[in-house]
A and B are shown apart, each in its own frame.
Chain A
Amino acid sequence: MVPIAWYLILAAILFSIGVCAFLIRRNVITVFMSIELMLNGVNLTFVAFAHMWHRIDGQIFVFFVMVVAAAEAAVGLAIIIALFRVRQTLNVDQINLLKD
């Protein structure tokens, strides 16, 4: 059987790669996808602990995280579309003024 620490280490790897991609990438859609990667890493941690403690609460939390991530992805992508219509760019370095 697999030690639970290995699942947690894998989730930590996914989370750190998400943090790295969030800081390094310049395209705003890729930054959003790195946020989803971080959320997935956290979900794996929750499910691993739910298995370890023999309780269902971890999986319920993952359910709610998935729902909130879906809502946030929809609204965030709508904001990106609106931003692209005004700025005509997807580079986060060039979206640096609040007004045009």
Chain B
Amino acid sequence: MELALFIIFGLLAVAGALNLLLQRHPINSALSLIVVMMSLAVLYWSLGAEFLAAAQVIVYSGAIMVLFVFVIMLLNAGEEDTTPASKFSKTASIAGFPGAAAIFCLLAFVFLSDRSALGTTRAGGYLSNAVNNIVDISHTLFTSLLLPFEVTSILILVAILGAVVLARKEP
């Protein structure tokens, strides 16, 4: 059953990513990225990370992608022109497909050469003797990693201030 889940949602994630690459209008790319993030949430759940699956749905596809869709609507972004204008972008368009294929082949070689050492997934993903995944995460996050947690709250505050200052209308 885990194999069926992985195959279905893995294919859905790859299809969404290819759709992001191939669509002309950015709103279609944004909606296919939402499909990718939802199927990744299912894959996190099958790997035993329930809290991360919920955070992926709420934060990534529920906040970040909604922000993208709002900006696309605000700027009235139309279909993009397909002719690359400068020499650098012509080079980048030609080098895009082979470069990405080269990166994928390198990563696949590294991952597949250790295939037996990696092993297979286990059913029920409890990582330690904690009750559930969120107890496990919060036990580490609020005791030994408390300083990075508080620093990220200051990071979010700075990001809010920066976004407000950068995007406001000039009086």
Question: Interface on A for B, CB 8 Å cutoff?
Answer: 1-10, 12-21, 23-27, 29-30, 32-34, 36-37, 40, 43-44, 47-48, 50-52, 54-57, 59-60, 62-64, 66-75, 77-82, 84, 90-94, 96
Q: Nearest chain A CB to B146's CB is how many angstroms away?
A: 12
Number of A-B contacts (CB under 8 A): 254
Query: Who on chain A is nearest to B93 by CB?
Result: A24
Provide the bound-state CA to CA distance between A70 and B68, in Å. 11
Q: Are B121 and A51 in contact (CB under 8 A)?
A: yes
Provide the bound-state CA to CA distance between A2 and B10, in Å. 12
Chain B 87-125 residues near chain A, CB threshold 8 A: 89, 92-93, 95-97, 99-101, 103-104, 107-108, 111-112, 114-115, 118-123, 125
B-side interface residues, number (CB < 8 Å): 88
Main secondary structure of the interface of B (DSSP, over half): helix
Q: A17, A48, A56: which contacts B17 (Cβ < 8 A)?
A: A17
Q: Nearest chain A CB to B5's CB is how many angstroms away?
A: 8
Q: Are B60 and A66 in contact (CB under 8 A)?
A: yes
Question: Interface on B for A, CB 8 Å cutoff?
Answer: 2-3, 6, 10, 13-14, 17-18, 20-21, 26, 29-30, 33, 36-37, 40, 43-44, 46-49, 51-52, 55-56, 59-60, 63-64, 67-68, 71-72, 74-75, 77, 80-82, 84-86, 89, 92-93, 95-97, 99-101, 103-104, 107-108, 111-112, 114-115, 118-123, 125, 127-128, 133, 136-137, 140-141, 145, 148, 152, 155-156, 158-160, 162-164, 166-167
